Amino acid sequence: MSRGPDLFVVCKSCGAEVSPYITECPYCGNRLRKRAPRIEREGGEPRVEPPRRAKLPKLRPGEIPGIAADPTRRPWVTIFLVVAALVLIPVVQAVRPSLLVATVFDQSIWKLLYAPLIHFNGWYAFVALFGLALFGMLVERRDGHAAVIGLYLVGGVGGVAAGLAFTPEVVVCGANGAALAMLCAWAVPPLLAERRGEGDDDDDLIGAFVFGLVLIAMSFVVPEADPIAGAVGLAAGFLGGLLLVRINR
C-alpha cells in the first residue's frame, strides 16, 4: 500500500506551510513540484493516512520521556565561580597576597581551592573570567554541573598546584587554567564533528582558538598566571572533553 501525501509541505523559498495538492506556493509563487500528488480514494472519499509518529532521540540522564531537555537551564556553577571571583577583587586589593594564596604546594592546601578565583591584575581578571564565564556556561548547559566542577578542580585548582610544585615560593593564582580547561572541553565535540565532515557553522572554532592563544600568552606575561597552570588546564580540558563525549554517547 502506497503512503498518502503529507498534511502539508514547506516552501523552500519563503518557509510557508502550504497544501500538498498544489504545484505553486500561493505566497511567493515558488514552483513546488511539476504535478500535484495523486489522491487515493476509498468508496469515493479521499483517503489520507495519519502522519507517522516521530521517533524520539535517546533520553539524556534526568530527562523526562517526551519532553526535551531545556537548553536554557541556568549554569549555576559557572555563575557562582564568576560572582565569587568578582567579589574577591576588592578583597585582594586590601589584603596582603600571602594571606590569601599559598606560595608552597604543601602550605595551606585549602587555599588552592579558591586560588583560581584570585586576581591581582585587572586585565588578567577580565580576560580569564570572561573565558571562564563564556565556555563554562556552554559546557554546563551541554554536559551538566558536574562537568564544570570537575574541570575547575582539575584544570584550575590542579593547574595552580602544579605551578607551585614546579616553581615554589612564588604566587600562582588566577583562572587561566580553569578558562583553558572549559574552552578545550567545549571544543572537543565540534573538532570531532569537523573531522567526520559534520561540522556546524554555529561553532566558532576560529574565535575559540584565538581566545585560547590570548589566554596562553597571558600565562607568560602576567607573573601570577603561571604557564604550567595553563598547560595543565589545556590537558585537563582536552582529556575531560573526550571523557564527556564518551559519557554522553
Provide the whole-model pTM: 0.69
For the chain, give the percent of residues with pLDDT over 90.
43
- pLDDT band of residue 67 (cuts 50, 70, 90) is very low
Q: What is the mean pLDDT of residues 113-127?
A: 91
Distance CA 180, CA 229 (A): 10
Please write the tens of the pLDDT for every residue from 145-203: 999 999 999 999 999 999 888 887 788 888 999 999 999 999 999 999 888 887 676 77
Distance CA 133, CA 27 (A): 44
Residue 69 domain flag? no
Write the CATH number for 88.
1.20.1540.10
Map grid coordinates 502522519 to a residue: 51
- pLDDT band of residue 216 (cuts 50, 70, 90) is very high
Distance CA 30, CA 82 (A): 51
* Phi, psi of 95, deg, nearest 5: -120, 145
Q: Are residues 33 and 117 in the same domain?
A: no
What residues form DSSP beta bridges with 46?
A: 41
Domain count, the chain: 2
Q: What is the mean pLDDT of residues 43-65?
A: 56
Look at 10-14, 32-36, 169-173, 239-243 and tell me which has the smallest mean pLDDT.
32-36
Residue 145 domain flag? yes
Residue 63 domain flag? no
Q: What is the mean pLDDT of the chain?
A: 81
Amino acid of residue 141: R
Q: Are residues 51 and 92 in the same domain?
A: no
Q: What is the 3-state secondary structure (H, E, C) of the chain?
A: CCCCCCCCEECCCCCCEECCCCCECCCCCCECCCCCCCCCEECCEECCCCCCCCCCCCCCCCCCCCCCCCCCCCCHHHHHHHHHHHHHHHHHHHCCHHHHCCCCCCCCHHHHHCHHHCCCCHHHHHHHHHHHHHHHHHHHHHHCHHHHHHHHHHHHHHHHHHHHHHCCCCCCCCCHHHHHHHHHHHHHHHHHHHHCCCCCCCCCHHHHHHHHHHHHHHHHHCCCCCHHHHHHHHHHHHHHHHHHHHHHC
> Which of 110-114, 221-225, 236-240 holds the top average pLDDT?
236-240
Q: Are residues 18 and 88 in the same domain?
A: no
- pLDDT band of residue 74 (cuts 50, 70, 90) is confident
Which helix (H) or strand (E) is 204 found in, with range? none
Distance CA 99, CA 114 (A): 13
Whether the predicted pLDDT of 230 surpasses 90:
yes
Task: List the domain range (segments joined by +) for residue 237.
Answer: 76-248
